Amino acid sequence: MNFNESTTKTNLARSFSAECQAGARYQFMSKEALSSDQKFLSDTMKTLAKNEMAHAKLFYDYIIEKSNGSVKNIAIEAGYPFEAPELQTSLLEEAQIELSEANNIYPTFAKIAKDEGFLDIAKSFEMVAKVESTHNKILEYLGNLYTSKQMYKRNCQTEWKCSNCGFVEIAKESYKTCPLCKLPQGYVIIDLEHEMSNCDCTQKKESSKR
């Protein structure tokens, strides 16, 4: 199929716009987190924003490449989210957006691209969907911790490491201020990869009671 007449061209433009907006929203959230001394959360949102902008660049480049630079403007109509700015609600709301992209939007765009003969674009949509699924898990995990005020509390002994000076303490709750460099609790690193892949003590205790 001629790319300029394809639905995939429009889907790439929609995806580019959505990823740019997600990148912007995550940067807004990063600044909000930093304003309340939540440095780790701020850095995490910056990383997610960087991911989204990388996706946007990928989709942008496909449009330029496949059209041989002939496309100068693409009219698209789509709904885009304007979520509440408060971290207490926006983290979980963004998690649901990422879930929709991972499970519905990008798989659908991938199928359309395959049907239209753009197998490379289809593969990219599929890979981006996997990244968005990971984003969903990160945002949901952090959102639940943040809203329940458990960001730096656990029911088991946990390593708390200051991202500034590297000071480490093992405890169920993180220190409020780093004993070494005196920076606030928000600079403490949360080992997301470890915590999200292992049941915490609360889950284990609940399971043992059943």
If you average pLDDT over every residue of the chain, what do you get?
A: 92
- Could you give the percent of the chain with pLDDT greater than 90? 81
Task: Give the CA distances from residue 94 to residues 27, 75, 185, in Å, rounded to whole numbers and listed in that order.
Answer: 13, 26, 24
Instruction: For residue 37, give the DSSP letter.
Output: T
Supply 168's token pair. 């480490």
Exposure class string for 87-104: b at 16+ Cβ within 10 A, else e: beebbbebbebbbebbee
What's the pLDDT at 69?
86
Question: Region 128-141: what's the mean pLDDT?
Answer: 98
Domains of the chain: 3-147 (1.20.1260.10), 153-209 (2.20.28.10)
Kindly state the tokens that stand for 184. Answer: 């606030």
For range 56-64, the mean pLDDT: 97
Residue where the block lists tokens 């304007």: 82
pLDDT confidence of 201, banded at 50, 70, 90? low
For the record, the structure tokens of 177 come out as 């201020």
